[in-house]
Amino acid sequence: MTPNELRQQVRSGAFRLPTAGYCGPYAQANLVILPQAQAHDFLLFCQRNQRACPLLAVGEPGQWQLDSLGAGLDIRSDVPGYNIYRHGELAEQVHALHDLWRDDFVVFAIGCSFSFEQMLMDAGIRLRHVDQQRNVAMYRTNISNHAAGPFGGEMVVSMRPMKAADAIRAVQITSRYPAIHGAPVHLGDPRLIGVNNILQPDYGDAVEIMDDEIPVFWACGVTPQEAIRHARLPLVITHQPGYMLVTDVLNSSLAAF
């Protein structure tokens, strides 16, 4: 299935599944939709926190097309599930935005670790949460985001346990992709970034860390959703975690070198 074919199935309602594992060579994206009044602050937040919020594309006010991410893409219907946040609370989950759409909405598409997981697996690195068909383990840290307007809070990280040689290779591979979170932000002792119980992730599922492995931590695309919740804005729309926007952008085209 091409990304365009998948988006057509999403648009018609035939596809309403998590998107992990579909259209492997193509980048998937986290989605944030905000009124224009908060768009500048959120853009600034993304630019000040690029490891957690690497921007793939930002639309013009009211624009629901994003040609740079896919010909014919319609952001109102091409994501399998949307979260509607009102005053920082999850108010509703919907499958299309036509009824909610406003001329002042600004779309932000943010890189997703599904892309670099594919690169790691292509390099022969086993990912335990993939092998065990679980969600990746995610943790709130004590790493403060750089605030912008109402957006602040702490960085959320995803963790993958690896043998040292794989961790070193993973630093090399992910360093090439600043647009999909780039290099790890930490490895080794979780307490040094404020993660005091590695067996209890704040999001996703716990995975075992073997004696010959170290935990490797990447900035996570859940960070902006945390920032959005804390900002308690009247209305913000995101994708549902795991139900991503599948783009026409080849992961390989995002390599910085």
Q: How near is the Cβ of 119 to a copy of itself at its closest, in Å?
A: 15
CB 221 within 8 A of CB 110: yes
Q: How near is the Cβ of 221 to a copy of itself at its closest, in Å?
A: 19
Residue 135 binding a copy of itself, by CB under 8 A: no
Q: List the 213-219 sheet strands across, edge first.
A: 137-144, 154-163, 213-219, 186-187
| Closer residue to a copy of itself, CB minimum distance, 119 or 183 | 183
77 beta partners: none
The token pair at 112 is 């997703």
Among 164, 200, 232, 253, binds a copy of itself (CB under 8 A): 164
Q: How near is the Cβ of 171 to a copy of itself at its closest, in Å?
A: 4
Q: Position of tokens 């998948």?
A: 6
Of the candidate spans 14-22, 131-139, 177-185, 235-243, the one that interacts with a copy of itself by CB under 8 A turns out to be: 177-185
| Closer residue to a copy of itself, CB minimum distance, 12 or 257 | 257
Of the candidate spans 10-18, 40-48, 118-126, 183-191, the one that interacts with a copy of itself by CB under 8 A turns out to be: 183-191
Q: How near is the Cβ of 160 to a copy of itself at its closest, in Å?
A: 14
* SS3 state of residue 51: coil
- H or E element, residue 108: strand 105-111
CA atoms of 246 and 240, how far apart (whole Å): 13
The token pair at 161 is 């346990």
Q: How near is the Cβ of 218 to a copy of itself at its closest, in Å?
A: 11
Residue 120 binding a copy of itself, by CB under 8 A: no
Q: How near is the Cβ of 128 to a copy of itself at its closest, in Å?
A: 17
Of the candidate spans 22-30, 77-85, 146-154, 185-193, the one that interacts with a copy of itself by CB under 8 A turns out to be: 185-193
Residue 171 binding a copy of itself, by CB under 8 A: yes
Residue 196 binding a copy of itself, by CB under 8 A: no
Among 188, 200, 232, 250, binds a copy of itself (CB under 8 A): 188
CA atoms of 81 and 243, how far apart (whole Å): 6
Phi and psi, residue 12, nearest 5°? -80, -10
Buried b / exposed e across 129-148, counting CB within 10 Å, b at 16+? bbeeeebbbbbbbebebeeb
Q: Position of tokens 């080794």?
A: 188
> Which residues form the interface with a copy of itself (CB under 8 A)?
164-165, 167-168, 171-172, 175, 183-189, 192, 212, 214, 257
